[in-house]
Amino acid sequence: MSLLAPYACAPADSRGRRHPEPAAPTRSAFQRDRDRIVHSTAFRRLVYKTQVFLNHEGDLFRTRLTHSLEVAQLGRSIARTLHLNEDLVEAIALAHDLGHTPFGHAGQDALNACLKSHHADSAGFEHNLQSLRVVDTLEERYPDYNGLNLSFETREGILKHCSRRNARRIEAREPGGVAQRFLASAEGQPAQQPGLEAQLANLADEIAYNAHDIDDGVRSGLLSLDQLDQVELFAQYRREALLQHPGLNGRRLLFETIRRMLSAQVYDVMDATRAALALAAVDSVQAVRLSPPLVRFSPDMAAKSSSLKRFLLQNLYRHPQVVDTTQTAQQVVRGLFAAYMADPAEMPQAHTDRFDQLESSPLAGDGATAKPERVVADYIAGMTDRFAAREHERLIGRAAFPA
C-alpha cells in the first residue's frame, strides 16, 4: 500500500472492535474486516438481490453484488490517488448494501410499513441500520460473539444515515460509538463527519449507480440514447466520443460515453477533494471529523450529477414498468410478513429460536429479547429475490411474478 496521508484512517490508530481480539499476523485491521465481509453469508446473498431490475428480469443487469464490486473499484481508485486507506474504503463499499431487502427499495419500503403498522413505536426498517445489524448481530460465524466484530471505522462507514431517534437507541447500547455523530448537533456539539474513507465510499456509490443505471436502463429498453441526450453529462461525453470516433453507435457508443462520464467524475472528485483538503488544512482524522464533508464533486459536477439523478428518477425508477414490478414486490413482502407473524413456525427453527435469545442490538428495542416482528423482518430482509418469491408462492399459493 502507498503511504497514507496524515488525514487517512491508519489501521494502527483504529478505535478497535467491540470484542477485543489480538491483531492478525499478516493483515491490517481493515484488510481483516474486508475478508470477513467477503466470507459472510449476507455478502453471498447480494448476488441474487435486486439493484433496480429484479433478478429474474435478466442475467446481465446489476445485482447488489456487482454494484458493490463497482463501488469498491471506484472507491479504491480514488483512495489510492488521495493516499487514503484503500482497504477501509473497500471494506465499507463491499458491506454498504448488506442490509438491503429483496426487491431493492420496494422491499425496504414495504417492510418498513409492516413494522410501523405492527407497532407505532417501532424503529422501522432502514437498510443502513440493517447493514450494521447484519455485521454486528445477525451473522453467526464465531464461537464467542454474534456478528463479524468489525472495526469501528468500518462500522461507522456502514452506518451512512441514521435518524436521531434510532441514533439514540444505538448510543444507549454503545455510548460514544458509531451513532454519536448523528446526535452531536442536537446536543449543542459541533457536527461530526465520518472519516474520509467513509465519505468516499458514499460518493463512489453515487457515481456507480448513476452510471450503471444508465447502462441497465438502456439494456432493458426503458431508456433510449436519444432520451439520454437531455442529460447534460451524458450528452457532453456522447458528443466527445463521436468526435473522436465518428460513426460509433449502439452499445459501443453507450459504453464509451459511460466510460468517459465515469472517468470525468472520478478525476473531478480527486481534484475537488484535494482542493478541499488543502483549503481546510486538515492534518489528522480528528480534523476531518470536525470539518464539513471534504470528499466531494466540484460545484459544476455536483450540479450535473444531480440533474442526471433527477432524470433517472423520472424516467427509470418511476417508469410504469418498474413501478408495476415494485408494487408486486411490495405485495410479496407484505404477504410474507403477515404469514410469518400469523404462524412463526413457517420460519426455520434457527429463526424462531431467536425469540428467546438475548438481543444485543438496539433495533430489537429496549427489551431483553428480540421481538417477534424484528425476527420476522430480519428473516425477510435476508432473503434473496427468488427465495422470497418462492416462499410467497408456498405460503400464499400463487406465483406473484409471471414465470
* Residue from 86, 136, 139, 205 in contact with Mg ion (CB under 5 A): 205
Query: Quick one: 174 or 205, whose CB is closer to Mg ion?
Result: 205
d(CA 361, CA 377): 14
Q: How many CB atoms lie within 10 A of CB 91?
A: 33
Query: Quick one: 54 or 277, whose CB is closer to Mg ion?
Result: 54
Which region among 154-162, 204-212, 333-341, 359-367 touches Mg ion (by CB under 5 A)? Answer: 204-212
Question: What are the DSSP calls for 75-108, one per residue?
Answer: HHHHHHHHT--HHHHHHHHHHTTTTPPTTHHHHH
Question: Binding of Mg ion at residue 385 (CB under 5 A)?
Answer: no
Tell which residue, 115, 98, 107, 111, has the closest CA to residue 371: 115
Minimum distance from CB of 96 to Mg ion (Å)? 5
Cell of 301: 459536477
Minimum distance from CB of 140 to Mg ion (Å)? 25
Query: Quick one: 14 or 265, whose CB is closer to Mg ion?
Result: 265
Minimum distance from CB of 64 to Mg ion (Å)? 8
Question: What are the DSSP calls for 306-326, one per residue?
Answer: HHHHHHHIIIIIT-HHHHHHH
Could you give phi then psi for residue 151, rounded to 5 degrees? Answer: -70, 155
Minimum distance from CB of 203 to Mg ion (Å)? 11
Query: Quick one: 70 or 139, whose CB is closer to Mg ion?
Result: 70
Query: Quick one: 75 or 335, whose CB is closer to Mg ion?
Result: 75
Minimum distance from CB of 13 to Mg ion (Å)? 27
Query: Quick one: 208 or 347, whose CB is closer to Mg ion?
Result: 208
Minimum distance from CB of 399 to Mg ion (Å)? 29
d(CA 287, CA 89): 19
Residues 16-55 that bind Mg ion (CB under 5 A): none
Site string (89-108) toward Mg ion, x via CB under 5 A: --------x-----------
Minimum distance from CB of 20 to Mg ion (Å)? 31
Per-residue burial over 378-397, b = 16 or more CB atoms within 10 Å of its CB, e = otherwise: bbbbbbbbeebbebbeeeee
Query: Quick one: 29 or 94, whose CB is closer to Mg ion?
Result: 94
Question: Binding of Mg ion at residue 174 (CB under 5 A)?
Answer: no
Q: Are 24 and 149 in contact (CB under 8 A)?
A: no
Q: Are 30 and 151 in contact (CB under 8 A)?
A: yes
Residue nearest to Mg ion (CB): 205
Instruction: Please give the torsion angle defined by the CA atoms of residues 237, 241, 246 and 250, in that order, rounded to the nearest 10 degrees.
Output: -90
Question: Binding of Mg ion at residue 216 (CB under 5 A)?
Answer: no
Residues 175-194 that bind Mg ion (CB under 5 A): none
Per-residue burial over 306-340, b = 16 or more CB atoms within 10 Å of its CB, e = otherwise: eebbebbeebbbebeebeebbebbbebbbbbbebb
Query: Quick one: 40 or 122, whose CB is closer to Mg ion?
Result: 40
Residues that bind Mg ion (CB under 5 A): 97, 205
